Every structure is written in structure tokens, then in C-alpha cells.
Amino acid sequence: MHLRTRSTAALLALACASLAGPAAGLAADPSITLRMAVDDAQGRQSEPYVSAFIDEVAARTGGSVVVEPTWDAGGGASGGFEVSVAQQLVAGEADLALTTGRGWSVAGVKDLVALEAPFLITDSALASAVATSDIAARMLDGMASSGVTGLALWPEDLNHVVVFDACTQPPVAPERFGGLTVRAVPSVGVDQLLAAMGATRVFADHYAPLVDSCGIQAAVTGFHGSLPGFPTFIGDVALPPRYQVLAANRASFERLTDDQRAAIGEAAVAVRDRAIAEHGTDAAAAVEWCAGGGDVILAGPDGVAAFQAVGSPIVDAMAQDAATSTTIDAIRAVKTSVEPAPAVEACSAAAVPSQQPTELTGFSTSRPPDGTYRIQLTAEDLLAAGAPARYASDNALTWTLTLAGDHWTGEGRNGSRVLRCAGTTTAVEGGTRMSTTQDGGCGFDYDIVWREAGDGIELHLLAVGGDPNYSDMASERAAMDRVWTRIDG
């Protein structure tokens, strides 16, 4: 059977012509549950907008359409979690999906590839303007040829190169990328750019051990990305931005009534507009990064021009496709009429004084007693203890630590976000060293002492990675120097 489709423009027209009461007439429509695959885990940037979309759909359809999300739907996929989510939608394993433009492009849905053109969209204001323009509507309409109904897209972050300073000097010129191993989510534009500069792109979800061993020297991410430690951002080299793209499986969408499809289209636009209204500038994100403990440097005008020269042939090759060429030209035209957002400026982490106790009376230097211990950290707790905002956000988890002889395991959990690691304990001068041997994102490379306290033990941190003068010791003590309640009886 040939299934009739509606373009994104038609869906928006239906949405704008909807009845004054959002759910008027829709409650009588047949009830249906739509499975929504989300590439992010709960607690990431997209969560408020996924929740808002679910609520908007329920309200605008009078409850006749229920959206059930699967968070981290592409987790563990060897080819990348974003690509996996796009593939799930195309295959009909999900009815709705939220993943990035780069994920769709790598999965073979080529209509969004212009968003991946190096150094085409380098500004927060332009990224938002493109999302609400006819350009976006045409790209979303084009997804129909892949069995996908594009609903809305919005910018989340501009991407940058970050460098792990202990492993290499900041690559502020293209030639400095030669021989580097760079962690990046698969992306048509970024993959080609890194290859052109002589770098090797790798992808891994939990890559802190590779950073610790300098097996990875740099990464590509936005200021709000999840990163091990506080690497240095190159702030004026903006790589293709991360766009969130909300789409439906065409066959699933056609099973809905006209009114239900219109209501979902309206919900998608409402969420897009909210996301854009709340989307801050890259310059503000850079200031927040430095306030949280990181550094931002600049390549300077000559460096930026050199990167653009490497990217130009890649853009030209993309433009060999007629539709992509038209989109690139249209984005360049919009760029001339949009006032740029403030430029990113260089900044450095503010030093936070470490709160070293004046004396350690009562603390034991022996190995802590075997058992399972737990603390629950909120961002407010960590901020009050002196941790910077970014550290507080990343570590606001319920932490469980199990000690058994010369081994330990650790877990941090907040909803579906789970970090797990394990290691060994050994005696060192003045305390016990917890070394990480299996890192799932929560390494505890700490030297500690302890004392009994209430129903558990109070820990005090002496050093991180064997270094008592670790640069972010104050943040680590804000998390560790607490009473850990024993939960194993």
C-alpha cells in the first residue's frame, strides 16, 4: 500500500490551524503509545526537552497519544550511540527518535549533511536562526526519502577541540594535529577534517583510562559535554555544531489520525522554540567552563584562517550534491543577515583554596574496614562545600563504595545515569591508596585516611593520583570528605 505523507511545512500549517483548545476533539481519537528512542541518558542536556515534548503531546492530543522514552537507547553500540538511535528509527524499532544531525548523516540519512560542513556554522546566533528558517524545514522534509518524518531541530552546543594538557601541547594550528588521537562521536564533517589534519579519530563512551595513559590526547565536544577532568578548550575554533533532531518513523506516523499528527507537529515546534529560547551563547558557556575549573585559549585570527583553509575543500566536496549545495548557499545567505553572538574569550580557572584540616586527630592510616558505604551528593551540597558549578553538576549522584580486603568497587547513580569503577587498596605512608583498575567513568585514585563516625566512617582525602597538591583538590574534598553511611548491616 502506498502511504500518503505530509511535508514538515504541511505539518506546521496544520499545527498553526489547530483548534483553540489544544486537545479539542482529540480525546475521541484512538489511543496509541509511541516508543521514543533518545540517544542521551537521563540527566543530560536533552532531558528537559524530551520531558516537555512528552507533556506537550499528551496535552495537545487529549491523552490519545502517549510517548514512552527509552533513554540511552543507543548505549553500547560499537558504531556510536547517536547513529544507533537513527538506525533504530529507520528500521521501525522506534516510532520517534531524538538524536543529533551528525547521527542521522552517519546512518545514511544525508539530508542534514550541510549541518556538518566544517566552519559553516560557527556562531550560536546563526545556529538558532538556521533551526527556525525554511532551510530547516526543507532538510526535515528531505528525510522522507529515508522513511523518516522530520519534526523539528534545534542547536544544543557548538563543538570545539579540547586538549588534555598532560598529553600534548594545545593544537592551535592544523599541522599540530598530525599524529594525535582524538576522541570524537562519529560525524561526517569532523571525521573528514581530522583525517585531513593527520589525526586519528576514535570513539569510546568511557575513555578516562585512555586519557590517563595519554592514549587519547584531545577530544571534540561542546562546553556542556561530559569530559574527564578539566581539559583546555580552543575557544575560537568552532567545529560543526551539535543539533538535536526530532523525527518520527514514517509508517508509525501515518498510523495516526490527521489531528494527532498535527498535534505532534505542534508539540515539536513548541519544544524547539523553548530550547532555542533557553539556548545560551558559546561565550557564556566558556565563562561557565572557566568558573567550573577549566581553561579556554584561542588560536587567534591566523590560526582560525588556517583551520578554515583545511575545511574548505571538504565543504566543496559536500557541495557536489545539488541539494546539499543549495542548503550550504542558503546558510551562507542567512549568515549575512544575522548579528553574530559575542565571541568566545580566553579565560582561566579561578583558584579555589583547599580546605585542609588543621590536624587529623582520630583518623586512622590503616585500611578502612570492609563494608558497603554510601553518600548522596546534590549539586547544592557540593556548591556549599566549595566545589565549582561544573564539578557539582557532574558529581551530583548517589555514590556507593564497597571495600573488601585489598579490592574496592564504586558506583555513582542518578536515574539511568550510572558510573561504575573498581580497583585495589594498598598501604602508603600516612594512609591508604585507592587505585582505579577498571574505570567506567568514576575513578577513585585517592589517598585517604578514615575514622569511625556514627553509622559509618568519615573519610579525609590526602592526595589525588598520589599528588597532595592536585589542582582541583578542593572539589575532590568537597565530595569525599564526608561521613559515608554503612548500608550492609
pLDDT tops 60 at residue 5: no
- What pLDDT score was predicted for residue 23? 52
Q: What is the mean pLDDT of residues 155-166?
A: 91
- What pLDDT score was predicted for residue 352? 47
C-alpha–C-alpha distance, residues 456 and 454, integer Å: 6
pLDDT band at 230 (very low <50, low <70, confident <90, very high): confident
Residue 444 has what DSSP assignment? -
- What pLDDT score was predicted for residue 205? 74
Query: Residues 339-374, buried b or exposed e (16+ Cβ, 10 A)?
Result: eebeebeebebeebebeeeeeeeebebebbeebbbb
**Domain carrying residue 461:** 371-486
- What pLDDT score was predicted for residue 419? 84
Residue 365 domain-assigned (yes or no): no
pLDDT tops 60 at residue 20: no
- What pLDDT score was predicted for residue 12? 43
Residue 439 domain-assigned (yes or no): yes
C-alpha–C-alpha distance, residues 448 and 462, integer Å: 5
Residue 364 domain-assigned (yes or no): no
289, 435: one domain: no
Q: What is the mean pLDDT of residues 377-392?
A: 81
305, 397: one domain: no
236, 379: one domain: no
294, 409: one domain: no
Quick: pLDDT tens for 276-301. Answer: 998 889 999 998 888 777 899 999 99
Residue 354 domain-assigned (yes or no): no
Residue 221 domain-assigned (yes or no): yes
Query: Residues 441-450, buried b or exposed e (16+ Cβ, 10 A)?
Result: bbbbbbbbbb
Quote the percentage of the chain above a pLDDT of 70: 90
Pairing of strands 431-440, 232-234: unpaired
Read off the pTM.
0.71
444, 318: one domain: no
SS3 letters for 63-81? CCEEEEEECCCCCCCCCCH
Quick: pLDDT tens for 438-489. Answer: 877 677 889 999 999 988 999 999 988 888 877 778 888 889 999 999 998 6
Give the residue with greater pLDDT, 128 vs 31: 128
Q: What is the Cα 290 distance to its own chain's centre? A: 18
Residue 168 domain-assigned (yes or no): no
C-alpha–C-alpha distance, residues 299 and 239, integer Å: 13
378, 331: one domain: no
Q: What is the mean pLDDT of residues 94-105?
A: 90
254, 383: one domain: no
Quick: pLDDT tens for 234-279. Answer: 999 999 999 999 999 999 999 999 999 999 999 999 999 999 998 8
Query: Which residues, 6 or more positions from 320, have their beta carbon under 8 angstroms from its beta carbon?
Result: none
Last residue of a domain, one of 312, 335, 358: 335
- What pLDDT score was predicted for residue 8? 44
SS3 107: coil
Residue 257 domain-assigned (yes or no): yes
Give the residue with greater pLDDT, 366 vs 472: 366
* Tally of CA atoms within 13 A in the half-sphere of 179 that contains its CB: 6
145, 80: one domain: yes
375, 432: one domain: yes
Q: What is the mean pLDDT of residues 144-168?
A: 92
Q: What is the Cα 133 distance to its own chain's centre? A: 25
pLDDT band at 83 (very low <50, low <70, confident <90, very high): confident
Terminal alpha carbon distance of the chain: 63
**Orientation angle between helical segments 300-318 and 322-335, nearest 10 degrees:** 150
Residue 436 domain-assigned (yes or no): yes
- What pLDDT score was predicted for residue 41? 82
Last residue of a domain, one of 311, 335, 359: 335
155, 209: one domain: yes
Last residue of a domain, one of 318, 335, 352: 335
- Number of independent structural domains in the chain: 2
25, 111: one domain: yes
132, 236: one domain: yes
* CATH code assigned at 296: 3.40.190.170
pLDDT band at 43 (very low <50, low <70, confident <90, very high): confident
Instruction: Label residue 45 exposed, middle or buried (CB < 10 Å: 0-12, 13-18, 19+).
Output: middle
Quick: pLDDT tens for 399-420. Answer: 999 999 999 999 988 876 788 8
